A and B are shown apart, each in its own frame.
Chain A
Amino acid sequence: MAAGGFISDDGRRALRSLLPPFVYAVFLMAIPLATVVVVSFQIRGAAASGEWLDGALPPPVAIALRVMVLLYAVTLPFAFVLVARGGNAGRISRFLLLAAPLWVAALWLSWSYLATLGFGFGNYASVFTDPINIRGAVRGGSWLPGLLPRSLFVSVAVTAATVILAYPIAYFISFRVAPENKSLWIFLITIPFWTSYLIRIFLWKVILGYSGVVNTALTGLGIIDEPLTFILYNVNAVIITLAHAYAPFAILPIYVALEKIDRSLKEAARDLGENRLHTFLRVTLPLSVPGIVAAVLIVFIPTIGDYVTPELVGGSGGLLIANRIQALFLQVNDPGLGSALSLVTMAAVGIVAGLFMLSLRRWLKRA
């Protein structure tokens, strides 16, 4: 049976192991993300009115629906195991049968929600027309770009700074440190990441401030007369703080890629008369590209979602898109616009990351 089956015996056992975390992830990721999509299409300004469903249905029905969705999510793994257990025939139809109630419930919930509040593209229109989000505006005689392009720019700058600063360290650990000391170095590099995130930001404030550590040290040594002001409460401070926070995420993938490089390739290049720089540029660097790509993505994507660093060290001019989303949900109470803005931000991050991968692939092909 196993030979001709869709899933092998081992595979089925493994699949059953994977189901609980997967269903948990679906329930807590896919369902919320779908909900955000629905909320983003509610009519502009209908935001503040209460909860899902409660306007459209009598409370007992609404409660029963919620219980059903919860129960369904909890029992879904068992349903999948049942599906996986039988033979091949009819598996797909059985799967659809089991999944159907979920789709019906989801569609009904979405429809009744939007039917109560009204459906519209107003939130998206607002995202694209309001100058604060994307378009930007002239304020006080100077051009003030929208929050989304500015956030993307900051994330790109943070990513570039982090990866460029991290590469030599990864190179150093991989090629210069004795093998028995490597894991100690890796451990040292990960320690700052595991120490309190908020307190780290507070400390950067202390280090970069007007009477902070850097300025007192530099004036004390007589290098500068006036404290530097360009290092706190602006975009530079955000970049420094984030480059510090994401350092291990950049170092580790590059290190792993460098470790995989066959050492004899470098020697061969040297034997064939390449100098050290050329060996690096033509052998080591291209072979470490997968690590660089992983580092870029793992730094770039999360940095756009941070609203604490901009708020604490960015000053009034350093606020970014995540601050706006946070304010829309927690202060302005406009979840419709907040959801639309979140989704547009996610799409923009995806597009920038995709363009990066595409141009890199083209460059690698040419090289």
Chain B
Amino acid sequence: MKPPSMKFPALRIYAIIYLLFLFAPIILLPIFAFNEGKIIAFPLTGFSTRWFETLWERPSLHSAVQSSLIIAVLTSIFATIFGIFAARGGAMANFPFKGGIIGFIMLPLVLPEIILAVALLVLVTKVLGLAPNLYTIVLAHTLMCTPYATSVLNGAFANLDASLEEAAMDLGESRWGAFRLVTLPLVMPGIISAMLISFIISLDEFIVAFFLSGNVTTLPVYIYGLRRQSDQLPIIMALGTILVALSIILLVAAEILRRRGLRRAGLEDAGGFL
């Protein structure tokens, strides 16, 4: 047999071009963020950090960041708690309508977001008679992030040997004690990974947040507000660079934790989050 690299060089070249296509926006982002000129185009006009400096002088941006962070933190906590319930229940046993129930929890993953946004807006304003606010966004984001958290945690719980918890209970632990002392430490990397992913999704979510934001401006809503002002574009680039750097750091952390969790459970790596 020929060595793998000799077989289809065309395929390897295609893969590299495809990666370039995938990464093109991320590669260009810092280039324009550190560019001196106001116009986002080549040729570049020189290195400058002035766009980053202007970010500090914007109180409206700061309050947007603050609300986004509050929403993202609360969402990641709630989504992960629900994800733990769902993954534990889904992995543990068979019962009637299991597929249907789990499918329903996973439904927001494939429902068009505009439908979700419309339905939640109608619920909040018509049925509950509330004005959209920060907490309605938390509700909506929890709904959207729970399937992601569940699928991350599914990996952690599916790999778990159920007899470990039973053994602890046979040795005199209560059910909660067995869960806390045996199961929880084993799935901890999965929990942190699920929280990080929910955090990133919530921080970045726009379509539903825009419907439910009311007076609250989240970070994506703030960025969207700048879309018509072309002189604001370099500032968006600077903001984007910070966000992308943050996401990549969090993702690498989540990935390392996920792998450590798999290794702790003594398992083969089965691929990414989704």
Q: Which residues of A contact B (CB under 8 A)?
A: 6-8, 10-22, 24-26, 28-29, 31-33, 35-36, 39, 51-54, 62-63, 66, 69-70, 109, 113, 165, 168-169, 171-173, 176, 178, 182-183, 186-192, 194-200, 202-204, 206-207, 209, 211-213, 216-217, 220, 244, 247-249, 252, 255-256, 259, 297-298, 301-302, 304-308, 312, 322, 325-326, 329-330, 335, 338-339, 342, 345-346, 349
The answer to whether B94 has its CB under 8 Å from any CB of chain A is: yes
B255-274 interface mask toward A, CB cutoff 8 Å, 1 = contact, 0 = none? 10001000000000101111
- Hey, which chain A residues are within 8 Å of B126, CB to CB? 35, 39, 51-52, 113, 335
Q: Top 9 nearest A-B pairs by Cβ distance?
A: A305-B112, A11-B95, A17-B89, A32-B119, A18-B89, A10-B93, A199-B240, A203-B25, A21-B82
Q: Give A238 Cβ to nearest chain B Cβ, in Å.
A: 15
Q: Are A21 and B86 in contact (CB under 8 A)?
A: yes
Once A24-B143, A216-B42 are accepted as A-B contacts, the answer to whether A54 and B110 lie under 8 Å apart by CB is: no
Residue among A62, A188, A206 with the most chain B CB within 10 A? A206
Given contact pairs A8-B93, A178-B4, A204-B25, a sample of 15 additional A-B residue pairs in the complex whose CB atoms are under 8 Å apart: A16-B89, A18-B85, A33-B115, A35-B122, A172-B12, A183-B271, A190-B273, A194-B247, A196-B204, A198-B204, A207-B25, A211-B41, A216-B42, A297-B110, A302-B111
Instruction: Count how many pairs of residues, one from A and one from B, have CB atoms less than 8 Å apart in the complex.
Output: 295
B126, closest chain A residue (CB): A52
Q: Are B240 and A196 in contact (CB under 8 A)?
A: yes
The answer to whether B104 has its CB under 8 Å from any CB of chain A is: yes
A325: contacting residue among B102, B118, B139, B142, CB under 8 A:
B118
| Interface positions of B from 118 to 154, Cβ below 8 Å from A | 118-123, 125-129, 139-140, 142-143, 146, 150
The answer to whether B59 has its CB under 8 Å from any CB of chain A is: no
Q: Are A176 and B12 in contact (CB under 8 A)?
A: yes
The answer to whether B178 has its CB under 8 Å from any CB of chain A is: no
Q: Are A24 and B82 in contact (CB under 8 A)?
A: yes
Once A7-B96, A17-B89, A349-B112 are accepted as A-B contacts, the answer to whether A196 and B244 lie under 8 Å apart by CB is: yes
Q: Are A199 and B236 in contact (CB under 8 A)?
A: yes
- Hey, which chain A residues are within 8 Å of B167, CB to CB? none
A12: contacting residue among B85, B95, B127, CB under 8 A:
B95
Q: Are B107 and A29 in contact (CB under 8 A)?
A: yes
A297, closest chain B residue (CB): B110
Q: Are A198 and B223 in contact (CB under 8 A)?
A: yes
B84, closest chain A residue (CB): A17
Q: Are A66 and B128 in contact (CB under 8 A)?
A: yes
Q: Are A36 and B119 in contact (CB under 8 A)?
A: yes
- Hey, which chain B residues are within 8 Å of A202, CB to CB? 223, 227, 233, 236-237, 240
Q: Give B103 Cβ to nearest chain A Cβ, in Å.
A: 10
B21: contacting residue among A15, A244, A248, CB under 8 A:
A244
A33: contacting residue among B102, B112, B119, CB under 8 A:
B119
In the assembly, what is the distance between CA of A305 and CA of B207, in Å?
9
The answer to whether B11 has its CB under 8 Å from any CB of chain A is: yes
- Hey, which chain A residues are within 8 Å of B101, CB to CB? 18, 22
Q: Are B107 and A25 in contact (CB under 8 A)?
A: yes
Once A213-B28, A330-B211 are accepted as A-B contacts, the answer to whether A306 and B113 lie under 8 Å apart by CB is: yes
- Hey, which chain A residues are within 8 Å of B119, CB to CB? 29, 32-33, 35-36, 342
Q: Are A200 and B25 in contact (CB under 8 A)?
A: yes
- Hey, which chain B residues are within 8 Å of A171, CB to CB? 11
Q: Are A207 and B28 in contact (CB under 8 A)?
A: yes
B201, closest chain A residue (CB): A194
The answer to whether B14 has its CB under 8 Å from any CB of chain A is: yes
Q: Are A194 and B11 in contact (CB under 8 A)?
A: no
In the assembly, what is the distance between CA of A182 and CA of B259, in Å?
13
B44-55 interface mask toward A, CB cutoff 8 Å, 1 = contact, 0 = none? 000000000000
Q: Give B203 Cβ to nearest chain A Cβ, in Å.
A: 8
Q: Are B271 and A252 in contact (CB under 8 A)?
A: yes
In the assembly, what is the distance between CA of A191 and CA of B206, in Å?
19
- Hey, which chain B residues are within 8 Å of A212, CB to CB? 41
Once A18-B101, A35-B122, A304-B112 are accepted as A-B contacts, the answer to whether A176 and B22 lie under 8 Å apart by CB is: no
- Hey, which chain A residues are within 8 Å of B65, CB to CB? none
B11, closest chain A residue (CB): A172
In the assembly, what is the distance between CA of A36 and CA of B243, in Å?
35
In the assembly, what is the distance between CA of A35 and CA of B119, in Å?
7
Q: Are A192 and B220 in contact (CB under 8 A)?
A: no
- Hey, which chain A residues are within 8 Å of B273, CB to CB? 190
- Hey, which chain B residues are within 8 Å of A255, CB to CB? 271
Q: Give B183 Cβ to nearest chain A Cβ, in Å.
A: 12
Q: Are B112 and A345 in contact (CB under 8 A)?
A: yes
A188, closest chain B residue (CB): B19
B236, closest chain A residue (CB): A202
The answer to whether B158 has its CB under 8 Å from any CB of chain A is: no
Q: Give B20 Cβ to nearest chain A Cβ, in Å.
A: 11
Q: Are A183 and B272 in contact (CB under 8 A)?
A: yes
Once A25-B105, A197-B220 are accepted as A-B contacts, the answer to whether A176 and B143 lie under 8 Å apart by CB is: no
- Hey, which chain B residues are within 8 Å of A249, CB to CB? 274
In the assembly, what is the distance between CA of A255 and CA of B42, in Å?
37
A-B contact pairs, 27 of them (CB 8 A): A11-B96, A12-B95, A17-B86, A21-B83, A22-B104, A22-B105, A35-B123, A69-B127, A183-B259, A188-B19, A194-B204, A195-B243, A195-B244, A196-B243, A197-B205, A198-B206, A198-B220, A199-B236, A199-B240, A203-B29, A206-B40, A207-B24, A207-B25, A217-B42, A249-B274, A329-B211, A342-B118
Q: Give A338 Cβ to nearest chain B Cβ, in Å.
A: 6
B88, closest chain A residue (CB): A17
Q: Are A306 and B89 in contact (CB under 8 A)?
A: no
Q: Give B245 Cβ to nearest chain A Cβ, in Å.
A: 10
In the assembly, what is the distance between CA of A186 and CA of B7, in Å?
21
